[in-house]
Amino acid sequence: MNSRTVNNRCICKENYTCLVLNSSLELPGSSTYIIAWGNNKYEIYINMWNLANFNKGYAKMTYNPNKGILCFYALINNVTLKNPESQVWGYPEIFLIGRSPWLKTPTNEVINLPQRINDLLSSYPNLSIYVNYTLIHSPSTPIDWAYDIWFLRNPNITGVGPGDAEMMIWLYYSGYNTQWAYTGINVNIPIYVNGTLTNETFMVLINCNHGTGWTYIAFVPVNDGYRSGNIGIWLAPFLNYMVTLLPQKCPSIWQSPDNVSDLWLMDVELGSEFGNMYVSSSEIYWKIYNISIVK
């Protein structure tokens, strides 16, 4: 992708919400709240959490209240990572529901969170999220476009560690190695793609001891997913697979499905992990036109 071909790269205007990060500003970048898409409250965050520094370029996130469009653009060069083994540079994102294990202010209380998984499946069996978006990136940029969902044993603590879990649902990816945590398991889960119910096949990634000790599970579309479109997912099938698969793959941590379903679901986030330790420059651009959370 040539940056000169990207038009209107998250322009800031009067009455817009604008977050900007450049090499002279403090990492990982700022966050703020917006009121959008049905008068709901969301938090947006540049969140370049793994950058130690960069000497050229910028990142920008804007919300246009007149058109209801959230935009992110980054053109960043000559980066140094805090932790190269973590690969990704950051996760520019929007907090959709609940409250993060780190940021305790709730967003968009359309449902009551935190809740234990088993209670959530009982209370909201049809809970679904639709997002209408488009995403482009430079060919050399590894990237995913994914939901990030956090689960804690104790919803009152700050941060995550052993006995906690993270589930990601990737809607699109390019350039990332999935073999590091591939379980050999593929699952078929129906999702809506531009209004059509599609039986999507996801490979399952699991790392029992990830980061500071939490368990990581990801569902990754085997067809690489969708760079643009209106995509709708039900949470219940993904949660049910998580409850079933973690005891199978991590029995020393998760002794039974009941052990997993007792976790508290804290929040649901959406964003784009991108970059790795092998690239020093990246360009990405995405827009969200609408988000709908259906109970």
Name the band, by pLDDT with cuts 50, 70 and 90, for residue 193: very high
Q: How far is CA 111 from CA 107, 192, 207, in A?
A: 10, 22, 29
Checking if the pLDDT of 253 tops 80, the result is yes
User: What's the pLDDT score for residue 54?
Assistant: 94
pLDDT at residue 109, as a whole number: 81
Q: Is the pLDDT of residue 1 over 90?
A: no
pLDDT at 11 over 60: yes
Average pLDDT over residues 21-37: 94
Considering Cα of 21, then 27, then 33, then 36, what sign does the dihedral take? positive
Query: How far is the C-alpha of 237 from the C-alpha of 242, rounded, in Å?
Result: 9
Mean of the per-residue pLDDT values for the chain?
94
Percent of the chain's residues with pLDDT above 90:
90
Structure confidence at residue 245 as a pLDDT band (50, 70, 90): very high
- For the cut 90, the answer to whether the pLDDT of residue 255 exceeds it is yes
pLDDT of residue 86: 85
Nearby residues of 23 by Cβ (< 8 Å), 6 or more positions away: 53, 54, 55, 56, 57, 58
Q: What are the tens digits of pLDDT across the range 81-137?
A: 999 888 899 999 999 999 999 977 788 888 989 999 999 999 999 999 999 999 999
Identify the CA nearest to 147 among candidates 263, 286, 268, 229: 268
Banded model confidence at residue 8, pLDDT cuts 50, 70, 90: low
Q: Could you give all domains of the chain from N- to C-terminal order, each with its CATH number?
A: 3-294 (2.60.120.180)
pLDDT of residue 103: 78
From CA 69, how far away is CA 31, in angstroms rounded? 17
Torsion angle (degrees, nearest 10) of CA 240, 246, 249, 250: -170
140-172: pLDDT as tens digits: 999 999 999 999 999 999 999 999 999 999 999
